[in-house]
Amino acid sequence: MKRTIIITGGAGFIGSHVVRLFVNKHPEYKIINLDKLTYAGNLANLKDIEDKPNYKFVKMDICDFEAVYQLMQDEQVDGIIHLAAESHVDRSIKDPFTFAKTNVMGTLSLLQAAKLYWESQPVPYQVAHSSQSTVQCLFYHISTDEVYGALAMNHPEGIPAPHQTIASAHSSQLETHGSLAYGSEFFYETTKYNPHSPYSASKASSDHFVRAYHDTYGMPTIVTNCSNNYGPYQFPEKLIPLFINNIRHRKPLPVYGKGENVRDWLYVEDHARAIDLIFHKGKIAETYNIGGFNEWKNIDLIKVVIKTVDIALGRVALNDEQRALSSSQLTAHSSMPDSAFPDLDLITYVTDRLGHDARYAIDSTKLQKELGWEPSLQFEEGIEKTVRWYLDNQDWMDNVTSGDYQKYYEEMYKPTQS
Ligand SMILES: NC(=O)c1ccc[n+]([C@@H]2O[C@H](COP(=O)([O-])OP(=O)(O)OC[C@H]3O[C@@H](n4cnc5c(N)ncnc54)[C@H](O)[C@@H]3O)[C@@H](O)[C@H]2O)c1
């Protein structure tokens, strides 16, 4: 079936994985990557698919209602997967206005453009690409688990997590701590919103607008709330790529507070896979939580990252038996003492982030039960893949950290000479 889908924020971290998946998996669809290319947007993330016939990039601000509305009409768009956002909590603490503008007003502008175009169709909210194929429209909004607030850490020592996945069962088999929970409560789809940072407050507000467009105008919408993502192409102001880069250069690793905060981590390609599944099979007006069933204290996660980088860079002495193991097996087993890893002393504790939430833990069993999705990767394996990608793509990292990536766009899309 033919479809024309706008993916907003497709030049960012998660968006680039979603664009790649859709362009490769659905050659019959036209995929339009709509991105303003802020500091976080990088077209080099999509170099491998930019020449595909079913891919188109449009540099546009989601807040520019007129331009978005025109694009929807010109391209006869029937689906929107909305990822464009300001996404970094620390930046939101310094500059909340930009977050309200992009995340709230930008989402509203997209919703209104979609409403006007989709309601102008002969059958509202159905776009006819030809006489044979009429497509039900969908506005799919990508959000975060941070809208739910924070959970108590009433088991700081860790208890067995109530849910197992194929990946986490594999994890216990490897005797890792991957399937622990640090509290007895979880975020469910029914959990009351209680955002604490300007970032999560802006995302919460945008989620409400999306649901309001369903309830008020009948727009087909879906919202998903996902936990922390990690993997290739993440802007290196976020914890995992920042630390991989710092370890590589033997620079200090700033850890907030005591590093006790707990987050649930999901490999980004698993998130993209969930988005594809929900876009096609999800129920209209539903909310789905997406999580890794994978809680980690920041300090434990940082140690896994350091150990994985140290092994990858040959900074640890391994005996023959250890050399035969993968780095995920080495970091998962506790057989190697911390003293074997020279870069653990790069950890530097810094003043905690303002209002730093203690624990996020998402329950995504609804998605597992209704649509059969679950994470595919055991955490140490995901980290090993991630570390290897950043070390193998040092040019990408160096370009991003030097700001050179911004020149890539100017070179790729030079104005035509008159
Ligand atoms: N990263 C995570 O762990 C995580 C977890 C759950 C949900 N999310 C959500 O997923 C989405 C993507 O997150 P990410 O980490 O990939 O973000 P990111 O910061 O890496 O990318 C955001 C993208 O949006 C673009 N953008 C920003 N403002 C824009 C505007 N006004 N108009 C058009 N494009 C604009 C940027 O250029 C960039 O390409 C966000 O909505 C975020 O809230 C992220």
- Residue 39, in any domain of the structure: yes
Residue 145 among the catalytic residues:
yes
136 and 157: one domain? no
The answer on 62 and 19 residing in a single domain is yes
**Residue 7 beta carbon below 6 angstroms from any ligand 1 atom:** no
Number of domains in the chain: 2
Predicted pLDDT of residue 333: 65
| CATH number of the domain that residue 89 is part of | 3.40.50.720
pLDDT digits (tens, 9 = 90+) for 86-103: 999 988 998 999 999 999
User: Are residues 115 and 174 both part of a single domain?
Assistant: no
Q: For the ranges 36-50, 56-70, 349-363, which has the lowest average pLDDT?
A: 349-363
Active site residue 395: no
The answer to whether position 276 is within a domain reads: no
- From 29, 69, 182, 199, the catalytic residue: 199
C-alpha of residue 35 to centroid of ligand 1, in Å: 10
Nearest CA, atom 12, ligand 1? 83
Same domain (yes/no): 104, 168:
no
Q: Which among 330, 324, 323, 286 is positioned nearest to 308, based on CA atoms?
A: 330
Is pLDDT above 90 for 170? no
Q: Has residue 169 got a pLDDT over 80?
A: no
pLDDT at residue 394 greater than cutoff 80: yes
Task: Clarify whether residues 202 and 111 are in a common domain.
Answer: yes
Please answer whether residues 5 and 30 qualify as being in contact, where contact means their C-beta atoms are separated by less than 8 angstroms. yes
What rounded mean pLDDT belongs to the chain? 91
Both 101 and 23 in a single domain? Answer: yes
- Residue 87 CB–ligand 1 contact under 6 Å: yes
Together in a domain, 64 and 54: yes
Same domain membership, residue 45 and residue 4: yes
**Does residue 285 lie within any of the structural domains?**
no
Neighbours of 399 (CB within 10 A): 17
User: In 3-state terms, what secondary structure has residue 35?
Assistant: strand
Closest C-alpha among 290, 267, 59 to residue 178: 267
Phi and psi (nearest 5°) for 128? -95, 115
Please compute the mean of the pLDDT values over residues 231-237 and round it to a whole number: 93
pLDDT > 80? residue 210 = yes
Cβ of 226 closer than 6 Å to ligand 1, yes or no, is yes
pTM of the model: 0.94
Active site residue 140: no
Q: Are residues 126 and 260 in the same domain?
A: no
pLDDT at 408: 56
Judgement on whether residues 315 and 211 belong to the same structural domain of the protein? no
Name the residue among 68, 112, 103 with its Cα closest to residue 85: 103
Q: Is the Cβ atom of 271 under 6 angstroms away from ligand 1? A: no
Question: What pLDDT digit, counting tens, does each position of 317-335 carry?
Answer: 888 888 888 888 877 766 7
% residues pLDDT > 70 (the chain): 92
Q: Is residue 37 in contact with ligand 1, taking CB distance under 6 Å?
A: yes
**What pLDDT, on the 0 to 100 scale, is given for residue 326?**
83
- Judgement on whether residues 118 and 172 belong to the same structural domain of the protein: no
Domain of residue 405, residue span: 152-183+235-264+294-351+379-410
CATH number at residue 246: 3.90.25.10
Domain final position from 171, 206, 226? 226
Do the domain assignments include residue 342?
Answer: yes
What is the spatial distance between Cα 310 and Cα 190, in angstroms, rounded to a whole number?
A: 42
